[in-house]
Amino acid sequence: MKTKLVKMDALKEAGEIIRAGGLVAFPTETVYGLGADAMNSEAAAKIYAAKGRPSDNPLIVHIADMEQVDLVAENVPDQARKIMEAFWPGPLTVILNKKETVPDGTTGGLKTVAVRMPSHPGARALIRESRRVIAAPSANTSGRPSPTTAGHVMEDMNGKIPMILDGGPVGIGIESTIVDMTGEVPMILRPGYITKAMLESVIGTVQIDPAVSGRTMPEHVVAKAPGMKYRHYAPKGKLILVEGEPDKVIAEINRRAQEKEQEGFRVGIIGTDESIGQYCTGIRRSIGSREHPDSVAANLYSILRECDTLALDYIYSESFFEKGLGNAIMNRMLKAAGYHLITV
């Protein structure tokens, strides 16, 4: 199959592909998504095939208007309505009880459905143009970092899907916050740009699934979002995170990097705008500024992809505070590092 990489003005044709049961990759404010008609089981099945994704890992249904919630969900709690009003359109996915009509192929056989209204105007325009609700996971090959540019999608999906809509680099760079609203207490299943504190300011107490908030490999807890149990976001080289006092972290990374270089390995270092000048070896990249955690989130996945392009064997990275957005950043980085974290 030939994959067309087109600008957002090709929306009409994109909508036709979705209606015909085909796949279109499109930008959202978080990461690029790989979309199909959510109510068409065969279309959803194509997503799993293109990504090489395990079929028990459910998809997020993307909507463009508030009324579409009731197409896919029922018994929607008042508290869920409140956070949808507060944070939609935006980087928040809400788990709700699913309507019978949503195929198992979309929800991986679950009785619940994940729903999100993206704020990216191109994403919403595509949903409206298609006159469908769109099931979309991140548009990467399963196990690779999520795509934040159309070029990343092309790397993974070329020849596998008919069309990629290029809306330029995404704004946020990490996937939406997922919150389960079907239990007693709202539960964050995946941390993201919308933080626990932001949710709590609207609906009171919210918990974080212990499987996604720890700094060590969750052994005795099973992640409640099926997708969070798979190895994710991982570069091919070995990623090692170092945390502690800034000066000690820099010294430790320099020491370890030099050691590996002397052994003949290709070594990369991920620092920040504030620290990058103090590293003295390896291929060095700044992931952004500590003053602006948004910039760190925005660059994270493209840097992890670049580690593969550069065929690095070892990558040493600084780690990030775990408050607010830092919690979401560290969740992704720890997974990418297989929880390899050194404290100095």
Taking the least distance from each CB to Mg ion, the nearer of 230 and 339 is 230
- Interaction between residue 93 and Mg ion (CB under 5 A): no
Q: What are phi and psi of 116, to 5 degrees?
A: -145, 140
Q: How far is the CB of 32 from ligand TXA (least distance, A)?
A: 7
Q: How far is the CB of 107 from ligand TXA (least distance, A)?
A: 5
Q: How far is the CB of 56 from ligand TXA (least distance, A)?
A: 9
Give the N- to C-terminal CA distance of the chain in Å, as an integer: 51
Residues 121-180 that bind Mg ion (CB under 5 A): 138
Is 233 flagged in the annotation as binding? yes
Residue 79 to residues 71, 85, 183, 194, 319: CA-CA distances in angstroms? 19, 10, 11, 16, 34
Give the whole-angstrom CA distance, residue 90 versus residue 92. 6
**Among residues 145, 227, 271, 282, which is the contact residue for ligand TXA, using CB under 6 A?**
227
Closest-by-Cβ residue to ligand TXA is 227
Do residues 181 and 116 touch, judged by C-beta distance below 8 A?
no
Residues 100-119 that bind ligand TXA (CB under 6 A): 107, 110, 112-114, 116
DSSP tag of 229:
G
Q: Going by C-beta distance under 8 Å and a sequence separation of 6 or more, which residues neighbour residue 272?
A: 286, 287, 288, 289, 290, 296, 318
Residue 110 touches which member of Mg ion, ligand TXA, none, C-beta under 5-8 Å by kind: ligand TXA
DSSP tag of 58:
P
Give the whole-angstrom CA distance, residue 6 versus residue 189. 34
Binding track over 12-31 against ligand TXA, x by CB under 6 A? ----------------x-xx
Is 116 flagged in the annotation as binding? yes
Binding residues for ATP: 53, 57, 112, 138, 146, 190, 233
- Interaction site with Mg ion (CB under 5 A): 138
Binding residues for L-threonine: 30, 62, 116, 136, 176
